[in-house]
Structure 1
Amino acid sequence: MAGSVRHIIERDGRFRARLIVPVRLRPIIGKRELSEALGGDRRAAERRAHAVIAKFQNELARAERQLELQGGVIPKRRFSEDEIAHAHYGEELAIDDAVRNIPGKRPNLSFTRPAYVAALKRVAAGSTSTEEAEAVIGWAVTKFSERESREIITDTPEWQKTARMLALVQLELIARETERDQGNFNGTPDLPILKKEPAQPAPDPVRLKTLFDGYFRELRAQNRGAEAERRWRPVFEDLRDFLKHDDALRITKQRLQDWKDDLIARYAAKTIRDSYFGAVKAIFAWAADTGRIPSNPTVGLKIKVPKPILAREKGYNDEEAIAVLKAATNYKPKVSDNPATTEQPALTAAKRWTPWLCAYTGARISEMTQLRKEDVKVKDGIHYLRITSDAGSVKTGQYRDVPIHPHLIEQGFLEFVKGSAAGPLFYRPSPRTTSARPWRTVSGRMSDWVRSLKLIDPRVSPNHGWRDRFKTIAIEVGMNPRSADAIQGHAARTAGENYGDVTLKARKVAIDKIPDYAAGMA
């Protein structure tokens, strides 16, 4: 056990929160334990564990409430009529065979059999009272009622139908026993329901939650998928709410089209395609590929997205970039005597440095707001940033090294890093922090701050606009496309581009091609 916090385990230097699911709740939750990675730092793991365990306990509480609504009983499968007939016939023959294998134990029932046969025939014909039917065959009806998700209530049409069918099966059993008493073990039934093979039982449900958790369990093992899991969970909740059930095996292409129609009334086509369809297509394709479901119902699920009409460039133009970078350079927080309204130094540092970092790296803002002191490195005289999911999250899950532009060094970025405490540069971890991803909170505040400056066109994304601008500048200065993609974390565009490495030295050559923004600020 790691530290003094309950429900934390340590394996190979990595920490996980784990809570065992009570046996009675496992059919509802779909797993034996709830588990989530907490990282490799003990103190950070212990801080995060409280929120994670609280989430697990809420999930168990919801399962408890669901169990209460079901009367404390986990639903069992309902059997078809032919399944009941075949099961009873097979089980009773097996019992007869077992008794015959015990010397001296087989009773002589010849003197009672005629009366029993006559009673069974009356039950099968429906010409007897409920009391006699219950006395003659009620034990068999009760046997299957206890196995099912329903109670077959006496003196109802359902009970009568089941009793009549089982009486006919029992007559067949008596015929087989009589044949066996005469040494004939090759008898076959004449009852039509026993002559045909029983219909295959409906497969057990495959829960959407089970697929969702399984998909991301694989990604977490590769240190990937944390951000997608957060974004996709509401998508699957929306699908489940629309369907009014949680069984992936019951989902058809038509029902997904119906869901699409419902989404169109609520969201833009691009949101549906990228967020909603992207999530369900990925997980259902994985489920089909791994044999968890027989086929993928999302094949062919599409939505037409109108091509956006661009009235300007997607990224910052020269004037906007210079204006925002000037604001970052000159930023001073408001002075307040009230500690509650005083801006934290880490956020002030984010406003000072992250716009510049994004401008010279083309990185995502969250990749910069999650930077730690230890992510600023030097090798062979090249100062660089290591962008890694160890610090927070990276969309691709792959780390990458990005050389630091000389102008950032000239401005004193390395001195700022040297004077900072170990750990995150742009937020301070705290036991009171409620956000599981504080670097995202900072990136959101950066977006709000840049918007508040009113220096950029409303159509430009305050954070993502730097990525578009970096690519534009890369084209203008003739940067090697592979180097530009490696710096920004974009995948290779062709199989040939996977050969050879874009070294730190090559990336340094590319970064140095970016013009110094200081020239435009003079």
Structure 2
Amino acid sequence: MLERAARLADGWRKEREIYAARGELPAFNDRVRQALADHEAVLRGDFPDFPAGSMNASEAMVIAARAVLTGEGVVSLPVLPPKAQATRPNPQALTLTQLADKWAAEVKPTAKSVQMWQRTIRDFDKSTGNLRIEQITKRHILAFKDSMLAAGSSPATANNRLNQLRALFRYAVGNDLLTADPSVGVKAPVTQRAKESRKPFDTASLRSLFAGPVHSAGERPSNGGGEASYWLPLMALFTGARLNELGQLRVIDVLQEGYLRDGVKELAWVIRITSDEEDGLRLKNQSSDRRVPVHDALLKLGFLQYVESTRVSGQPKLFPLLKPDRYGSVTAYWGKWFGSYLRRQGVTDRKIVFHSFRHTFKHYARDSGIPKSVNDAITGHASGDVADDYGSLDYPIKPLVEGIESYSVPEFDSFNIQPYKQ
């Protein structure tokens, strides 16, 4: 049996060199870990109908897999009784909760994110039995996915929670706490209908929204954060930015930037969307750091006058009346107000929400002929292109300006929105 294990281990080691040369070592380790888990299950008797004559083969597979994963020779590896193999995890290995604590200490996520991760870990442990991370296999991840779907979770919700686990496993692999990510390839299928859960605004729904009292009669409801009720929808329509990106803006984030056009120096007003941990500014990902030129429609409505009046008043935040929730999100309460306000203005389609402005911008940007790379740079969308590593804050300003200049919203001038008044 040991001779057989040695042959298996030798073959796997040669195969590992091939995977390593292709940069696919994690995938190879994941496959060996899965083989180890499968044959340990055979030895434990989890499959009573398994041919008895194959037990020696499974013992050889277990020895070989451990040798390849640990780097130790097959001869020096003791063969433990099956029950002992299943019940003696490495005491040095971390639980998922301990792993999450280490991850959080480095990444420093928001309190809301920590709570989300804790809930997912609690449910995963309940499903699998408080395993240490080295004991977790792809089979456990698949079982957790299936249990969420069986309990009525949508595929999108299940994938969000799987991604939370994936972030922890990737952290563990990167810090030599695991040899491979057991969640690789596990994903709940998302139907086309689910993908269409958000719709862009059409001309009729935009007209209904901007015909409301905030934009047509000068109302500034306190629940809408005063001037935020007026500016946030307009800014989202002409920048494609996310709600929280706009709500957390500071006065200093609206500035002029110079560039060359046909050899002549020009100045453009831009909105800088950036992360700043010390100032509590958080973005979705690295590609979200960017500058967005201020559209002419916003200039005509008095956006710069509003920025200046806020600066003169001594307020550092562009929308100082927004009240953060207990997790520090400055737009959580505002988003609930906007949803209710939108329905009162006759936009009853539940698939149209504030995030629909982002879809609307992408749609009209394509219609306006804006190149995809510029569209992505303006919206902070990670396209998967190598150019994403270039850094959106360093993206040349000239194509951004030209993109925004060409961007138009059909019939916007006919909406008769009242300009800002101090």
Q: Tell me which interval the TM-score lies in, with the shorter structure as reference length.
A: 0.5 to 0.7
In structure 1, give the amino acid aligned to 2:330.
P
1:261, CA displacement in angstroms?
Answer: 2.6
TM-score between both structures, scaled by the size of structure 1: 0.53
Deviations 1:99-158 (A, max 9, x none): xxxxxxxxxxxxxxxxxxxxxxxxxxxxxxxxxxxxxxxxxxxxxxxxxxxxxxxxxxxx
1:241, CA displacement in angstroms?
Answer: 3.4
2:140 to 242, 255, 267: 255
- Alignment of structure 1 residues 456-495 onto 2, 5 Å: 456-460=348-352, 462-495=353-386
Distance 1:234 1:343, change over 3 A: same
Distance 1:263 1:388, change over 3 A: same
Q: Distance in 2 between matches of 1:333 and 1:376?
A: 25
User: In the alignment, does 2:277 pair up with 1:392?
Assistant: no
1:229, CA displacement in angstroms?
Answer: 4.7
User: In the alignment, does 2:90 pair up with 1:203?
Assistant: yes
1:373 to 251, 258, 271: 251
User: In the alignment, does 2:324 pair up with 1:436?
Assistant: no
- Alignment of structure 1 residues 295-306 onto 2, 5 Å: 295-306=180-191
TM-score between both structures, scaled by the size of structure 2: 0.65
User: In the alignment, does 2:320 pair up with 1:320?
Assistant: no
Deviations 1:68-94 (A, max 9, x none): xxxxxxxxxxxxxxxxxxxxxxxxxxx
User: In the alignment, does 2:288 pair up with 1:409?
Assistant: no
1:343 to 222, 231, 235: 222
In structure 2, give the amino acid aligned to 1:219.
V
Q: Distance in 1 between matches of 2:218 and 2:246?
A: 20
Distance 1:429 1:316, change over 3 A: closer
Deviations 1:444-477 (A, max 9, x none): 43333323433252222x1111111111111111
Q: Distance in 2 between matches of 1:366 and 1:331?
A: 26
Deviations 1:29-64 (A, max 9, x none): xxxxxxxxxxxxxxxxxxxxxxxxxxxxxxxxxxxx
Deviations 1:185-242 (A, max 9, x none): xxxxxxxxxxx9796974124121222233344434xxx7887556434322322333
Q: Distance in 2 between matches of 1:427 and 1:476?
A: 35
Aligned to 1:9: none
In structure 2, give the amino acid aligned to 1:214.
K
1:330, CA displacement in angstroms?
Answer: 2.3
Q: Distance in 2 between matches of 1:499 and 1:250?
A: 39
Q: Distance in 2 between matches of 1:197 and 1:230?
A: 42
Please give the secondary structure, in 1, of the residue aligned with 2:225: helix
8 Å CA contact 2:244–2:329 kept in 1: the answer is no
- Alignment of structure 1 residues 19-168 onto 2, 5 Å: none
1:423 to 293, 313, 316: 316
8 Å CA contact 2:172–2:178 kept in 1: the answer is yes
Q: Distance in 2 between matches of 1:235 and 1:209?
A: 10
1:268 to 154, 176, 183: 154
1:329 to 215, 239, 245: 215
Q: Distance in 1 between matches of 2:326 and 2:188?
A: 37
Distance 1:423 1:433, change over 3 A: farther
User: In the alignment, does 2:242 pair up with 1:364?
Assistant: yes
**Mind listing any 5+ residue stretches in structure 1 that lack a counterpart?**
1-195, 335-341
Deviations 1:267-301 (A, max 9, x none): 0122212x111111232133134321244322342
Please give the secondary structure, in 1, of the residue aligned with 2:406: coil
Q: Distance in 2 between matches of 1:289 and 1:484?
A: 33
Q: Distance in 1 between matches of 2:195 and 2:127?
A: 35
Corresponding pairs, count: 313
Deviations 1:333-382 (A, max 9, x none): 58xxxxxxx826x7121111100000000111111111111211122331
Bigger Cα displacement from structure 2, 247-256 vs 197-206: 197-206
In structure 1, give the amino acid aligned to 2:271.
L
Please give the secondary structure, in 2, of the residue aligned with 1:378: strand
Q: Distance in 2 between matches of 1:257 and 1:198?
A: 29
What RMSD over aligned residues (CA atoms) do the two structures have, in Å?
3.3
Q: Distance in 1 between matches of 2:115 and 2:396?
A: 33
Aligned to 1:455: 347
8 Å CA contact 1:376–1:386 kept in 2: the answer is yes
Q: Distance in 2 between matches of 1:217 and 1:247?
A: 19
User: In the alignment, does 2:135 pair up with 1:243?
Assistant: no
Aligned to 2:400: 507
8 Å CA contact 2:225–2:321 kept in 1: the answer is no
Distance 1:270 1:405, change over 3 A: same
Q: Distance in 1 between matches of 2:164 and 2:134?
A: 17
- Alignment of structure 1 residues 199-238 onto 2, 5 Å: 202-204=89-91, 205-220=93-108, 229=114, 231-238=116-123
Question: Rg larger in 1 or in 2?
Answer: 1
Please give the secondary structure, in 1, of the residue aligned with 2:395: coil
In structure 2, give the amino acid aligned to 1:459.
K
Aligned to 1:117: none
Please give the secondary structure, in 2, of the residue aligned with 1:512: helix
- Alignment of structure 1 residues 157-196 onto 2, 5 Å: none
Q: Distance in 2 between matches of 1:317 and 1:497?
A: 30
Q: Distance in 1 between matches of 2:275 and 2:336?
A: 19
Distance 1:424 1:456, change over 3 A: farther
8 Å CA contact 2:378–2:400 kept in 1: the answer is yes
Aligned to 1:126: none
Q: Distance in 2 between matches of 1:495 and 1:300?
A: 22
Distance 1:231 1:400, change over 3 A: farther
Please give the secondary structure, in 2, of the residue aligned with 1:507: helix
Q: Distance in 1 between matches of 2:320 and 2:95?
A: 39
Q: Distance in 2 between matches of 1:234 and 1:449?
A: 32
Q: Distance in 1 between matches of 2:233 and 2:308?
A: 19
Aligned to 2:415: 521
Distance 1:256 1:480, change over 3 A: closer
Please give the secondary structure, in 2, of the residue aligned with 1:392: coil
